[in-house]
Amino acid sequence: MTAPTRSVALLVTCLVDALRPSVAEATVALLGQAGFAVAVPRQGCCGQPLLNAGDADGAADLARRMIAVFAGYDFVVAPSGSCIATLREYPRLFAPGSADAAAAQDLAARAFEICDFLDRHAAVLENAPRWDASVAYHDACSGLRQLGIRNQPRALLSQLPGLELRELATAEAAECCGFGGLFCVKYPAVSAQIADRKLDAVLATGADFLVGGDLGCLLHLEGRLQRRGLPLRAVHVAEALAGQVPGGGQGPADGSGRG
C-alpha cells in the first residue's frame, strides 16, 4: 500500500516567474522527486510589496485571492522565504475570528519555503547531483528570522557530492544584504554599500558560488557583482539542489547517493 500522493501547489513568486523561471523548474523537479503531485494554478502576487509599503487593504485584497487560488491543495511551496513569510502574515490582515482569518490561518499552516518543506518531508534528496564547487550560503532575513530557516538549506546542500559549504564571517553572516524591496531603489547608495559588505564577506571565503533562497536578494547581489565586474555567481538553492544551475558545471547524481 502506498500513501495517496499529496498535492503541492507551487507559489511561483513574481520575481522567479518573470526574471528566473529556471528556479521554478528546479522547485517543481525537487517536489516531483520527493513524490508530490505538483500543480501551478494561475496566480498573481502574494502582496508582499503592498504589505511592506503599508498598504494593508491592498495586501488583504491580494491575500483573499491567494487563499482562493491555493484552496484544496495539501501544501503550498515557494522558492522564497519572504513570500512564504507574507502568507504566514495573512491571518493578521483580517479581523480575529472572521471567516477570512480562519481561511488565512489554514493557508498559513500549509505554506512552506522549499528547503524547509523538503527538510520536513524529504530530508534525504533522492537524486543529489554532483557539484564540484565551493559555495557560501546567504541567509535571507525573512527566512532566517520569520521562518527559522538556517540549517535546512545547509543540510540539503551538504548532500551534494563534491560540494563544499563555506560560512561567512560571523559579523556579516547575520546581516541583511541590503535588498529590502523598495528600499533598494529608494536609498540605492546605502543599499549598495550593505550589499558590498555581504559580497566582500562572500569573496573572503573564496567560494565559487553565492547560494541563497530568495531571488530578490540574489538579483540585487548578482546585479552588484556584475556592476563591480566580479566573476562570482549568485544562484538559487533550488537550482543547486536540482542540479540545474545554468552553466554551473553540475553533474548527474553520481550513484554514491541514493538515486
Given the rule CB under 8 A, which residues bind another protein? 12, 14, 16-22, 24-25, 40, 42-45, 47, 49-56, 58, 61-62, 65, 69, 141-142, 145-146, 170-171, 174-176, 178-195, 219-220, 222-224, 226-227, 231, 234, 246-247
Q: Give whichever of 51 and 128 is closer to another protein, judged by the CB atom.
A: 51
Please report where in the chains the cell 515557494 appears, as a residue.
78
Q: Which residue, 128 or 242, has its beta carbon nearer to another protein?
A: 242
CB-CB contact of 132 with 250 (8 Å): no
Q: Which lies closer to another protein via its Cβ, residue 42 or residue 96?
A: 42
Smallest gap from Cβ 21 to another protein, in A, equals: 4
Question: Are 81 and 143 contacting, i.e. CB atoms less than 8 angstroms apart?
Answer: yes
Question: Residue 105 Cβ, how far from another protein at the closest point, in Å?
Answer: 18
C-beta of 13 vs 152, nearer to another protein: 13
Q: Least distance in Å: CB of 210 to another protein?
A: 12
Instruction: Supply the minimum distance, in Å, between the C-beta of residue 99 and another protein.
Output: 20
Cβ proximity to another protein: between 153 and 178 the closer is: 178
Shortest Cβ 208–another protein spacing (Å): 13
